[in-house]
């Protein structure tokens, strides 16, 4: 697996994400994340979205075990390493409700199925954050091998409407 090539291919789909986001706003706000460890690398994608005039918000872990805070993305070099090796912005925090201002929410996943069930890391941060976000405004980023026919889900799990892999953007049905 060539992670740099995969990251560049994800960035090739920035225009499609902007199109999804601009259904409701000409200059969209997109909540996203900085991929770490074995996650698909998102640096090139984040920077491509910024070049297309998207305002990006990235999650910030808080002391509250139930919520993610959000802060503006001001470039990869302005990120700091946080708990669990996550990368987060050091810019001003906007509060957990800031995700509600996003026209599109790009989320990490270990796997996603064709029905839109997303398998996360089990802490439920994103399930709680997505509680008031329409699934058609959510995109899980995974490798092509992680787009499956079925993943286990619980009643509290939030479904996503799209999967982005280095091979393209796929709509997910119910």
Nearest one of 21, 87, 12, 88 to 55, comparing CA atoms: 21
Q: Express each pLDDT in 104-134 by its tens digit.
A: 999 999 999 999 998 887 667 788 888 888 8
The whole domain housing 49 covers 3-171
pLDDT of residue 123: 66
**Do the beta carbons of residue 53 and residue 27 sit within 8 Å?**
yes
Q: How many domains does the chain have?
A: 1
Q: What is the pTM of this model?
A: 0.90
Residues of the chain with pLDDT under 70: 1, 24-25, 63-66, 84-85, 122-123, 174
pLDDT of residue 122: 60
């Amino acid at each position: 697996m060539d992670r740099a090539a995969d990251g560049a291919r994800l960035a090739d789909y920035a225009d499609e994400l902007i199109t999804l986001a601009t259904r409701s706003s000409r200059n969209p706000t997109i909540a996203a994340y900085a991929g770490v460890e074995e996650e698909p690398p998102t640096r090139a994608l984040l920077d491509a979205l910024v070049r297309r005039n998207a305002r990006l918000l990235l999650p910030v872990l808080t002391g509250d075990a139930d919520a993610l805070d959000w802060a503006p993305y001001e470039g990869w070099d302005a990120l700091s390493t946080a708990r669990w090796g996550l990368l987060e912005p050091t810019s001003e925090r906007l509060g957990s409700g800031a995700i509600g201002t996003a026209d599109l929410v790009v989320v990490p996943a270990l796997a996603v199925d064709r029905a839109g069930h997303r398998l996360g890391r089990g802490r439920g941060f994103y399930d709680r954050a997505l509680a008031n976000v329409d699934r058609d405004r959510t995109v899980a980023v995974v490798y092509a091998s992680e787009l499956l026919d079925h993943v286990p889900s619980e009643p509290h799990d939030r479904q996503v409407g799209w999967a982005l892999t280095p091979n393209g953007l796929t709509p997910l049905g119910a």
